[in-house]
Structure 1
Amino acid sequence: MSTSALIQLTKVQKIFLTEDMETHALSDIDFHVDRGEFVSITGPSGCGKSTLMSILGTLDTATSGRYVLNGKEVGALDERERARVRSEQIGFVFQAFNLIGDLSIAENIEVPLTYRADVDKNERRKMAMEALDRVGMTHRAKHYPAQLSGGQQQRVAVARALVGRPSILLADEPTGNLDSKNGESVMQLLKELHLAGSTLCMVTHDPRYTEWADRQVFMFDGRIVSGSVDASTPLDSPAMVASDPA
């Protein structure tokens, strides 16, 4: 295990069972994210990216293998314990902004903190405004989601992910619902957060955005594909031979 790893997966498998079928979504995944690192994960549809992200975010559990987060094994925790880990250590940014329409922007940012018994109402508002300041959106605190553009809503979603001061930020297709201009703006924001010390792991299908990361990870058929391969290389080419990474 890397001594600087914030996240470490070892021989992780995920198998989905139905009455007549067994689907191996992830096979023998060895993967790590170091503290302060920005990692991108890409690959074709159905390769296991979203399944991997769900396990990293403790939204799902592996069928087998180990998941260590911040020095603690979390793969075998029950749902209540996993929810606490999510609340305290993980920030999420999704393709869909998932903002609540009848709450103001500041109130949306506060939502994750309502599950934290150690944060009172006044502290929630203070932390929400600090998070909005980090993404340049304090002037929109009293507005509602419908009054914001797509790019602005995603900035608010990033602020909501940051508000609990998580150990890692997980971004699942954060530019998927945005045009190219707003997509570039959100990527610039994520890069600025990374340069300020945040640890990020991002799933994207867009090869333009993989290069924003320190390290690019490629997936194919539920496996991590070894080697440094140009983003333009077809993922089903002979160069993309599945194996465990070094």
Structure 2
Amino acid sequence: MNDLSQSNIIHIEQLTKVFYTDELETHALAGVHLSIAPGEYVAMSGPSGCGKSTLLSILGLLDTPTTGQYTLNGKAVANLGFADRSRIRNQEIGFIFQSFNLIGDLTVFENVELPLTYRAGMAGAERKERALHALERVNMAHRTSHYPAQLSGGQQQRVAVARALAGSPSILLADEPTGNLDSKNGEAVMRLMQDLHSEGATICMVTHDPRFAAHAERQIHLFDGKVVSEDELLRLLAASEESTSTGTAV
């Protein structure tokens, strides 16, 4: 294993993902290379269908690549079985979803504590301390007994961020974290993400909004399952629009 894969939290090489449906092959990722260092704040952007969410699912161990290498904190994780991926995901990765994914019949506190109940050997007192501390970090400790339906969208996303933070993950993966929020709440969540980054959190965020992508310190652009430069992305998008208007293939 090379030094680069050891020194980065995430390091992937020649990652591909092919989906098979009937006789059709869909190449969602086509040889992606990516490294994310400790403390980085990275935004992934690109047009719909470019592979952003597929890549984030693989980074989060929710899915496996078809081919390629993936190391997480120096450990090869590309070909792990379901149980090992679940265990590492619970310990190493914090997820923030567009739709919040809070459980409606659990309180704010219970939602944040829930992932910690799957940590073998973690005592109840430690789970409580971690959950409360995470809620304090997102200014939601005063809502521990409330239910998700009693919160605004922005407040629900703050609780979702607290849930992601409670396990002290190596990296936060955020999939369109402002997608279900109005502009005011979206900006508030972005300020929260910046605050967490300034405190040392490593963040990888998928967003279609260039305003929010600009909050990150590094931007990665995807097009047709490949990482491209910003100039290349603009050229490809322009060519795609031109082909659509003229009815010709790119």
Q: Point out the structure with the larger helix share.
A: 2
Whether 1:32 aligns to 2:9 is no
Q: Is the 8 A contact 1:38 1:199 kept in 2?
A: yes
- CA displacement 1:82-127 (0-9 Å, x = unmatched): 0011000000000001111111100110010011112122211111
Preserved contact between residue 7 and residue 74 of structure 2 (Cα < 8 Å)? no
Q: Which residue of 2 aligns with 1:99?
A: 102
The TM-score, its normalising length taken from structure 1, stands at 0.93
SS at match of 2:109: helix
Shift of 1:149: 0.5
**Cα distance in 2 between the residues matched to 1:27 and 1:53:** 14
Q: Please give the secondary structure, in 1, of the residue aligned with 2:238.
A: coil
SS in 1 for 2:70: strand
Distance 1:25 1:229 in 2: 21
Q: 1:43-98 CA distances to partner (integer Å, 9 max, x unpaired)?
A: 00000000000000000000000000000000111110000110000000000011
Q: Secondary structure at the match of 2:136?
A: helix
1:57 to 57, 60, 63: 60
Q: How far off is 1:205 after superposition? A: 0.6
Matched with 1:243 is none
**Given the alignment of the two structures, is residue 90 of structure 1 paired with residue 93 of structure 2, yes or no?**
yes
Counterpart check, 1:113 vs 2:116: yes
The offset of 1:234, in angstroms, is 6.6
The answer to whether the 8 A contact 1:44-1:235 is kept is no
Which residue identity lines up with residue 236 of structure 1 in the other structure?
Answer: L
Contact 2:93 2:173 in 1 (8 A): yes
Partner of residue 165, structure 2: 162
Residues 195, 127 of structure 1: alpha-carbon distance in 2 compared, 3 angstrom cutoff:
same
Give the equivalent residue in structure 2 for 1:46.
Answer: 49
Gap change, CA 1:139 and 1:235, over 3 Å in 2: farther
In structure 1, give the amino acid aligned to 2:147.
Y
State the TM-score, normalized to the length of structure 2: 0.91
Equivalent in the alignment of 1:237: 238
The structural deviation recorded for 1:15 is: 0.5
Q: For residue 73 of structure 1, what is the aligned residue in structure 2?
A: 76
Looking at structure 1, the residues matched to 236 and 93 of structure 2 have their Cα atoms a distance apart, in angstroms, of: 30
Distance 1:234 1:120 in 2: 54
Q: Root-mean-square deviation (CA), in Å?
A: 1.5
Deviation at 1:229, TM superposition (A): 4.2
Segments of 5+ residues of structure 1 without an aligned counterpart are: 239-246
Once the two structures are superposed, residues 26-58 of structure 1 have per-residue CA deviations (whole angstroms, 9 ceiling, x without a partner) of 000001111100000000000000000000000
1:210 partnered with 2:206? no
Identity %: 58
Q: Count how many residue pairs are aligned between Structure 1 and Structure 2.
A: 236
Q: Residue type of the partner of 2:194?
A: K
Secondary structure, counterpart of 1:25 in structure 2: strand
Residue equivalent to 2:10: 7
1:197-235 deviation line (CA, Å, top 9, x unaligned) = 000000001111111001000000111113x4499x475
